[in-house]
Amino acid sequence: MPKTKILICDDDRHIAELLTLYLRKEGYDTKEVYNGADAVRECGRFAPSLILLDIMMPEMDGTQALSEIRRAGATPVILLTAKGETFDKVLGLSLGADDYIVKPFDPKELIARIKAVLRRSVKPEGEASGVLAFDGLTVSQPTYTVVYRGAKLDLPPKEFELLYYLASHPNRVFTREQLLDSVWGYDFMGDTRTVDVHVKRLREKMPGEDAFGVKTVWGVGYKFEVAE
């Protein structure tokens, strides 16, 4: 059985080598690159199952690389950074990162996060799927596509999964914690702000709708409201 492939992108070669050591010990196949431009190129050539992507890099930084990777597909990405500011975290999540970890990190924690993201990204063979249709909106789980008012929307994987989950339960209210558990997984180590960031992005892409929309239920959470 082929090994799961992980692309490591960090301009600090010492860190990249350590990550390779940890990951190969866990049975993963790895490839190292040292700038964002190479990460984008190798995403197509190496075809990794997951990418570890540093933010502060030469030629093309991690946020730029993440944007390019998301244009090409839905490969899971975990951001690595020495910067812990909220802005960087929110920006990374809004661009479609699957998780975020601040250096220095415990290798065991990183491995746990990798395994959690891989579990969420792999769909069981034969899993039931469907297409949700509303007035002006179609959400297709089999193809991970959204058509809004006749135009295809480009949504990062987590934005799509959040929309699909909410739209699968029209008019039902979910707390942020419930959405984190159901969409990101119970072992997600982020906070509830993650949900707020993704809801904001969805609203920006589907503004001003009367027939449907992701609505805030103050003091509780969110729901996908469908007009009666």
Check: pTM over 0.85? Answer yes or no.
no
Q: What is the pLDDT of residue 18?
A: 93
> Over the chain (228 residues), what is each successive 10-residue block's mean pLDDT?
86 93 94 93 88 87 86 84 65 76 86 83 49 86 87 90 90 86 70 87 85 87 85
With 0-12 / 13-18 / 19 or more C-beta atoms within 10 angstroms meaning exposed / middle / buried, residue 63 is buried
Pairing of strands 99-102, 50-54: unpaired
Cβ contacts of 33 within 8 Å, gap of 6 or more: 7, 8, 9, 39, 42
Domains of the chain: 5-121 (3.40.50.2300), 131-226 (1.10.10.10)
54: closest CA among 121, 21, 7, 1?
7
Residue 120 has a pLDDT of 67
Give the per-residue pLDDT at 121: 65
